């Protein structure tokens, strides 16, 4: 079998779910730029959180799960 066509790659792409927690500043700006560019290429949902607690609340992770 040959290399999959570009359309097949897009259809079968599986993107991992991840959380990025960072302090405001340059790191946040770089991530914002990356997300903006990535969203133009692949349709997926990405959210930015300022604290780990915000990310955990959005993901539904309770404190008991982390202990």
Domain count, the chain: 1
* Residue 29: predicted pLDDT: 75
**Contacts of 51 by beta carbon, 8 Å cutoff, 6+ apart:** 21
Q: Distance between CA 46 and CA 57 in Å, rounded?
A: 15
Q: Distance between CA 32 and CA 51 in Å, rounded?
A: 16
**Residue 14 belongs to a domain:** no
Provide the residue range defining the domain that includes 43.
19-66
**Residue 4 belongs to a domain:** no
**Residue 9 belongs to a domain:** no
* Residue 16: predicted pLDDT: 53
Percent of the chain exceeding pLDDT 90 equals 0
**Residue 13 belongs to a domain:** no
**Residue 10 belongs to a domain:** no
45 vs 1, residue with greater confidence: 45
Q: Distance between CA 6 and CA 18 in Å, rounded?
A: 25
DSSP3 helix / strand / coil % (the chain, rounded to 5): 50, 5, 45
Out of 3-7, 37-41, 54-58, 59-63, which region has the weakest mean confidence (pLDDT)?
3-7
């Amino acid at each position: 079998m040959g290399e999959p066509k570009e359309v097949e790659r897009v259809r079968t792409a599986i993107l991992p779910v991840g959380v990025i927690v960072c302090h405001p500043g340059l790191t946040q700006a770089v991530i914002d730029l990356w997300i903006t560019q990535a969203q133009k290429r692949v349709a997926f949902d990405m959210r930015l959180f300022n604290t780990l607690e915000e990310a955990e609340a959005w993901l539904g992770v309770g404190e008991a799960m982390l202990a």
